[in-house]
Every structure is written in C-alpha cells, then in structure tokens.
Amino acid sequence: MARPPVLSVALPSDTGRVLSIQSHTVQGYVGNKSAVFPLQLLGFDVDPINSVQFSNHTGYPTFRGQVLNGSQLWDLIEGLAENDLLHYTHLLTGYIGSVSFLTTVLQVVDKLRSVNPDLVYVCDPVLGDEGKLYVPQDLISVYQQKVVPVATMLTPNQFEVELLTGLRITCEEDGLKACNTLHSAGPRKVVITSALIEDKLLLIGSHKKAKEQPPEQFKIEIPKIPAYFTGTGDLTTALLLGWSNKYPDNLERAAELAVSSLQALLRRTVEDYKRAGFDPSTSSLEIRLIQSQDEIRSPQITCKAVKYS
C-alpha cells in the first residue's frame, strides 16, 4: 500500500512552508509561541523546532524546562530528511543560546539549501537589548562571520546591530550606515526593528535589490506605548517574513503592515490589562496574540514608511 503524500509538501500553500527554530514556553507568547500562529494566519505551513522548552519566559521569578542541544537538533533534521520532508521555502531562527547550537543551525541552512537553493533565511539575531547581553559573548563573532553572510533578511534591534557592526547608532545616518555594512556582508534585506534616536522610536529598513545599485532605505516612526511587552521582537520578525513574502520587492509596504499589526495588538494588550484592573506600566506584559488575529490577518496601515532620498 502506497504511503500517502505529505500535502504541505505535495501541494504547498501559495505562501510557503516555514521551518522555525526558536524558543518555546508552555505559558505565554515568546519565540515560536509568538511566531507560529501569526504565520499560520498569514497562510504559511509552519513546522516549529523548539530550541528550549520552558514553563514560562525567564522574566518570571522562576522557570523550569529543557534546552535542546546541537546533536538533538540535527537528529530532528535527519529524521525529516529520511522521509523526504526537508523542502522548505523559508527558515526562521530566533533565540539561540550556545555556539554549538548555532553551528548546527548553519549546517541546517546548508542542508535546506541543498534541497531548495532558493530558501529564504530570515534571521533574528537575538543577542540582547538596551545594553544587556542575553547570550554568551562568543556568539557575536559566529553571527558576524558565519550567520550574517548566509541570511536573506536580518532583523536586529538597535543594540544587536551595534554588536554586529561595531558601529554606535546615535542618529539615523548611523542606522543607514549599519544597514549598508550588513548588506556588504550578505543579506539583501535588513530591518532594524527598533532604534531610539533623538527620543523617537524608529524602525529603519533597507533593501539592496542589486549589487550595483544603492539600497532602498526608509524609516517608520513607531508610536511609543508606556509599557514593556515580551515576545514582540519574535512577532515582528514573523510578520516581516510573512508580509515581505507577499510583497517581495516592497520592503517598506511589508514593514508598514508588520508595524501597524503589532501596534494594534499592543494597544489591545494594554486595554485588556486595564480592564482587568492592572496598571500596565508596572510590569512586563504577555501579549494578547489570539485575541488580535483579525489585526494580524488584515491590518489597517496606521504607521507609514518615509523613504530616504
């Protein structure tokens, strides 16, 4: 009796099939919990591999769980390969906590591109934020020398882009120079997802469509919300992957949709905490992902891109 085909491979969706390697929490929305559902809403088949599995995110007083190592990751990839299940259109990576695991991720990139040379690799280089490093120092050079050159799209925050480029970002021109530095290393698309410059919160995007041409660059001013949220970076990168797939030659349109969607979700989150009688400015907040699926699937553009000349 013939084995039935895997329909996500035999009849792939119009959008694509994503392998997402990120962290996972039982409760709350960070890592894969923040990325998989939105991508599914946008029409993707998504296969998650959890780099860690924790009870809750690490901002709580305690957490418990397990960490996947590089050999365990490769074992999963080999299992997929043995059953001809490795045809992916996109690879998405987020938090990775060790050099050995990151080295295995690079092997995964090679393996996936041996099956599909057109694989789009979207990398959120989770290193830290606001001057605080989340990972061992020696991961930075691996990202610089080995990961950045093979990424299609890179989505660092301000602190991460400074670590990757060695450039201090104090003005918009610095941000554009950092994007150009990263382009010269490999990725065609670079999005600095958040940068606090002259008291404004900005997204800075850059798309180098051809080697002989300068990149198309833009900014989006992001409305400040007086609260701290978990999982927003993971969600932002997932939305950028989703919308840039629909608009492959229009990164600013993809970014407008991603930022507008995120802002609607964050406003809902704040409103719901207030309705529950909690002051949202006093603690980190879990995002209202499920309740915001309309805003994820069909966002109204409220944050517009401004092109740099």
Catalytic residues: 234
Per-residue burial over 77-101, b if 16 or more Cβ lie within 10 Å, else e, is: beebeeeebbbbbbbbbbbbbbeeb
Q: Which two tokens stand for residue 286?
A: 């879990």
Maximum Cα interatomic distance, the chain, rounded to a whole number of Å: 67
Quote the CA–CA distance of 28 and 57 in Å, as a whole number.
7
Quote the CA–CA distance of 113 and 103 in Å, as a whole number.
16
CB 152 within 8 A of CB 109: no
Residue given tokens 């993707």 in the structure block? 44
CB 80 within 8 A of CB 86: yes
Phi, psi of 220 (to 5 degrees): -130, 125
CB 255 within 8 A of CB 219: no
| DSSP SS3 for 13 | coil
Q: Give the strand pairing for 17-25 and 90-93.
A: parallel
Quote the CA–CA distance of 146 and 156 in Å, as a whole number.
16
